[in-house]
Structure 1
Amino acid sequence: MKISKILRLVSLFVGLSCQISQAQVLTPSQARTDLSYLKRKLDLLHPGMGYYTPHARMEQLYDSLYNRLTSPVDYLTFFHHVSPFVAAIKDGHTNLNHRKNYIGKSTRFFPFYIRLVESQYFISHNVSSDTTLQRGTELLAINGRAVADVHDELMNADHSGSDGDNLTGRRQWSLIQFADYYAAWFGSADSIKITYRLADDSLVRQTKLKCLTLDNFRHRIQRRYGIETDRRPNLSVRMVDTLTHTAVLRISTFMGIKKKDPFQWAFNRRLKRAFKQIRQENVQNLVVDMQGNGGGIVMNSAHLLRYWMPKSFRIMDHEEMKKGARAELVTRWNPFSALNFSLQYRDDNRGGFASRLANRRYRPRHRDAFAGNLYFLMNGASFSATTSVLAKTLDAGMGTFVGEASGSAYWGDFAGHFKTVTLPNSKLQVRIPLKKLTHAVETERANGFTVEPDFIVTRSFDDLMHNRDYVLDYTLRLIREGIVVRPGVEKQMNRNRALQASR
């Protein structure tokens, strides 16, 4: 048999396998087994059950979902059925995900990036074959449904990146990754029908467009918009205004630079180089850009804070987890895991465990420490360890915050360690955080449930058309006008000296 025939047969077999897999139907018994399995795991492991949504309401919701599983249900419908229970936890670190390989090379995606300007949705990047749909085209409907309705459904179905009732994280992620959210919720589609209005045109039009595989999507984005790609490396510094001595420090993630680096030396070295450059260039106004930074390793957020915190500090007040989490961290195949667990955790006298290391203190750095004015660029996708930095800085009475509210809560979050459970029949996967992390901050110093901006900045149509970093532009205007909400360490000390001298 020729190679070409073999490849065609393999391709046909893979295609049929995918279709059969996606068309899976669960019996009522299988569906109920999966839902009850998920609830048991959440009750056993999740430290936030009942925190944002009362236990009674969670039990009520579970009973309602369980009792409605009375007839066979296909895979995607069951995914939709489970979603409200996971979303009701209101924890941005708890994620409901499809089974392995459900989203793959053959999945076809919505062919645009879209952005919100006030209450209107516009195409910002078009990867479809219709090149007349240029930036600024208003998108009105998808398959006959108003875009706002579709967006609301996606936002309410997935609580990833937003804690509590905060909306900014869900809004940001569901727009930034609209194509991914759409495919995950509605399934892969060969084509979509859109209703739209071209820029500077009042005529409402309709067209049908093919959806793209991920490889084709990425290829066209690079070919059409490669010049707009943000290629700034993490922890990079650039001077943006020599007159006001202003620089931007871009922090896109707190994840480690190397896979095997438990003490995060590589991240720390790059951070040292950044602040050495900041000192050498006599930066007086430092813009810390953490827009879209979804977090990472708490130790790295502490390393960053050391460069401007005025005195020794703790990131966390305490860290705790349920009794059942121990079995996820202590394994038979690792004989040292039990010892390691005992060294790191102790009984909390409430049936769970508390971290022995939560009270670790970090000393400020004196060499290359920054004492000028700090401005933070933030949005709903500034989450987890990023909010830890924002909360600690706000608690210290420092910084000017610009953009929109962060995704995580000021008090802390549920994160640290994670367990991904796979439901036995559907194979849906749910990521469960194992630890409750409480920031070492004073509650009365909060400016909202999350860390809220001092200046709320939203995108204008002109910002969209010029692909402008409008939050940075607004911040640079504040700096040129000398507007500082909370001055840096040096100015605080000078102000305190002046007050003492006048008494």
Structure 2
Amino acid sequence: MKKTVYFLIVCLFTSCVSVKNYNENLEKPIAADKLKEDVNFAYLKLHQFHPNLYWYISKDSLDYKFDSLKTTINKPLKPLEFYLKLEPVVAKIREGHLRVTIPTRRLTKKEQKYLLTQKGLFGRYNFAIDGDQLFVLDNAEKVPNMQVGTEILKINDHPTLDYLKKYRKLITSDGKNQTFQKYYLAKSWSSFFTYENGILDSVKLETKYQNEIKTFYLKREKISKVEKKVEKVEVKKKQQQNKNSDYNVARKLYNRSLTFEKKDSSIAFMKINSFSNTRSAKFYKESFATLKKAKTKYLIIDMRNNFGGSVAEINNLYSYLTDEKLKFLNDIEVTSNKSMYHADYFNQVPNLIKPLAAIAYPFYLVGTAFSNKEKDGKHYLRANYKIRKIKEDNFKGKLYVLINGGSFSAASILPSKLKGDKRAFLVGEETGGANDGSVAGRYSTITLPNSKLKLPISLMLFQPNITFTNTEKGVVPDKEIIPTISEVLQKKDIELEWILNDIANQK
């Protein structure tokens, strides 16, 4: 018992020292020649692991940008200052999954415990962006002075548009399209702000609502015991009520749902906020059985603001939308037959089951070796993403898919395949993810030797089995409808309205 207590004390002390040392290193400038070594190292690893590095940028152009970056590093920089130089150059590769991890201050146990008792600042709201303007989209807690439609003009006397311009440079979509940035920035700008300014207990805001300008302080509030208890009960209730819909605690919504637009069940609406894959097989099995029993004629699948997720889930969903034995994805391209050995195998495994993961690791290596194949001088992993058996409950009616710039990764691959098969009619805005595929899947996280910045590099090129457009753009809708910021703030769903009118006209 004494040894156990002693061990725990040592671990706690070591952890505190580790956090302190890490945070101190974030404030230490790194010599310019060392940072240039990091730039060279990053480029080398990108070339080694990224399977389609020159998809959207030529080698000469990328070489020039990396060389130009090194010429701007003429004095020592702190890790965050170096990040703000390196990340915009990596973003020029125009791969939405590829970005340097921003260096952030680690929290002590005491700070973590304190934040658990506090409500957030900006994290309590959802936002919408129009150009360089930032608006409050949702205020579920009805915090004073933050009505839906409020524009945030300044934060701590600094113009909001300056923050948005700075952070937009750190974000890229796939290829040439520009639709993804505003959706991702609306979700992430407050995180960038916190990384830059630290965790604050209050901020001074200048806002505008209905032409009235206000200045006030937005402050953290303590979570009462009653509120914590009520929230815990509410979350548990939602999780139990619709288990297969997969309640997302962080976003306070279900990852997937199925409803009917008409009493006669002729029109169904399936909303998918994320391809989390948690209980998804059961959800789709039950949902499509319900659609078949209800003799539903029209199915609307909403993938707007879905940043992607599991390829296995979209492959399974696709199998309910076709009555042909088609291949969903091509074989997965990698840089070499050894690249998958560098994947972050243990990083995504919880500490409790890492011993089991270690036992299974040799089997992973053997499986990876046998899945490799070479064709025309390129290396591939054999993909099993194809329809082996036609689903009994596959949907045979008219299919509409709603997309926008927030449809990314897996939420671009599936619409691309459905459009390529001429199976669905797409409505909305060009997707943030590319039409012809995405470099995603497993990552190899590289640590730059001097700055210690993390660079996760996707190892796998996923491409739908379609005739490629080679436009370097996202999935383009059959009917483009882009709501104005006024319609967004008023929660007017003009894209869905168009589909319902189109169906009514058909009837």
SS of equivalent to 2:473: coil
Q: Name 2:195's counterpart in structure 1.
A: 184
Q: Distance in 1 between matches of 2:157 and 2:500?
A: 42
Deviation per CA, 1:269-327: give whole Å up to 9, x if none.
33111100111222111111222222223232121111222422112233211125144
Contact kept? 1:22, 1:102, Cα under 8 Å: no
Q: Distance in 2 between matches of 1:435 and 1:300?
A: 17
Deviation at 1:146, TM superposition (A): 4.3
Q: Distance in 2 between matches of 1:327 and 1:391?
A: 30
Q: Name 1:251's counterpart in structure 2.
A: 272
Q: Distance in 2 between matches of 1:274 and 1:75?
A: 49
Contact kept? 1:315, 1:388, Cα under 8 Å: no
Letter matched to residue 272 of structure 2: I
Deviation at 1:178, TM superposition (A): 2.8
Q: Distance in 1 between matches of 2:289 and 2:142?
A: 48
Matched, 1:422 2:447: yes
Contact kept? 2:79, 2:103, Cα under 8 Å: no
**Structure 2 residue runs without a partner (length 5+):** 1-12, 239-248, 346-357
Which of 299, 318, 328 aligns to 2:342? It is: 328
Q: Distance in 1 between matches of 2:21 and 2:380?
A: 47
Q: Which is further off, 449-458 or 318-327?
A: 318-327
Change (3 A) 1:326 1:361: closer
Which of 326, 348, 366 aligns to 1:339? It is: 366
Change (3 A) 1:188 1:69: farther
**Structure 1 residue runs without a partner (length 5+):** 1-8, 258-265, 484-503
Q: Distance in 1 between matches of 2:47 and 2:14?
A: 43
Q: Distance in 2 between matches of 1:249 and 1:436?
A: 28
Matched, 1:78 2:90: no
Q: Distance in 1 between matches of 2:14 and 2:51?
A: 46
Q: Name 1:206's counterpart in structure 2.
A: 215
Change (3 A) 1:449 1:15: closer
Deviation at 1:115, TM superposition (A): 1.6
Question: So what's the TM-score if we normalise by structure 2?
Answer: 0.77
Q: Distance in 1 between matches of 2:224 and 2:97?
A: 28
Q: Distance in 2 between matches of 1:42 and 1:253?
A: 28
Deviation per CA, 1:222-258: give whole Å up to 9, x if none.
79xx99x97664443111222571111122333332x
Q: Name 1:51's counterpart in structure 2.
A: 55
Deviation per CA, 1:73-108: give whole Å up to 9, x if none.
122211101112211111011122134754884898
Q: Name 1:479's counterpart in structure 2.
A: 503
Q: Distance in 2 between matches of 1:128 and 1:304?
A: 35
Matched, 1:355 2:381: yes
Structure 2 matches for 1:236-385, cutoff 5 A? 236-243=257-264, 245-257=266-278, 266-323=279-336, 325-328=339-342, 334-350=361-377, 352-357=378-383, 361-363=386-388, 365-385=390-410
Q: Distance in 2 between matches of 1:252 and 1:129?
A: 24
Matched, 1:40 2:44: yes
Deviation per CA, 1:440-464: give whole Å up to 9, x if none.
11135x9982112213131453552
Q: Name 2:146's counterpart in structure 1.
A: 133
Computed over aligned residues only, the root mean square deviation of the Cα atoms, in angstroms, reads: 4.0
Change (3 A) 1:214 1:342: farther
Change (3 A) 1:231 1:66: closer
Change (3 A) 1:119 1:364: farther
Q: Distance in 1 between matches of 2:89 and 2:224?
A: 33
SS of equivalent to 1:249: strand
Q: Name 1:412's counterpart in structure 2.
A: 437
Q: Distance in 2 between matches of 1:126 and 1:136?
A: 10
Deviation at 1:39, TM superposition (A): 1.6
Contact kept? 1:124, 1:136, Cα under 8 Å: yes
Contact kept? 1:26, 1:74, Cα under 8 Å: yes
SS of equivalent to 2:506: coil
Q: Distance in 2 between matches of 1:330 and 1:157?
A: 24
Q: Distance in 1 between matches of 2:371 and 2:207?
A: 57
SS of equivalent to 2:100: strand
Q: Distance in 2 between matches of 1:281 and 1:288?
A: 17
Structure 2 matches for 1:105-254, cutoff 5 A? 105=112, 110=122, 112-116=125-129, 120-125=133-138, 131-159=144-172, 162-184=173-195, 187-189=198-200, 191-199=202-210, 202-210=211-219, 233-243=254-264, 245-254=266-275
Change (3 A) 1:344 1:455: same
Change (3 A) 1:78 1:383: same
Deviation per CA, 1:405-441: give whole Å up to 9, x if none.
2121111111232111122233221211112222211
Contact kept? 1:417, 1:435, Cα under 8 Å: yes
Deviation per CA, 1:5-25: give whole Å up to 9, x if none.
xxxx99998997676354232
How many residues of Structure 1 are paired with residues of Structure 2 in the alignment? 456
Deviation per CA, 1:165-187: give whole Å up to 9, x if none.
22222211111333123323555
SS of equivalent to 1:85: helix
Q: Distance in 2 between matches of 1:78 and 1:213?
A: 36
Q: Which is further off, 371-380 or 232-241?
A: 232-241
Deviation at 1:151, TM superposition (A): 2.2
Q: Which is further off, 380-389 or 136-145?
A: 136-145
Q: Distance in 2 between matches of 1:37 and 1:341?
A: 26
Question: So what's the TM-score if we normalise by structure 1?
Answer: 0.78
Contact kept? 1:240, 1:247, Cα under 8 Å: yes
Q: Which is further off, 19-28 or 73-82?
A: 19-28
Q: Name 1:492's counterpart in structure 2.
A: none
Q: Distance in 1 between matches of 2:101 and 2:130?
A: 30
Letter matched to residue 238 of structure 1: T
Deviation per CA, 1:146-177: give whole Å up to 9, x if none.
43443233222122xx2012222221111133
Q: Name 2:423's counterpart in structure 1.
A: 398
SS of equivalent to 1:377: strand
Change (3 A) 1:373 1:173: same
Deviation per CA, 1:344-399: give whole Å up to 9, x if none.
1123352x5212336x5314634112111111122222221221210111011122
Q: Which is further off, 43-52 or 93-102?
A: 93-102
Matched, 1:68 2:77: no
Deviation per CA, 1:465-491: give whole Å up to 9, x if none.
4x45554344334333439xxxxxxxx
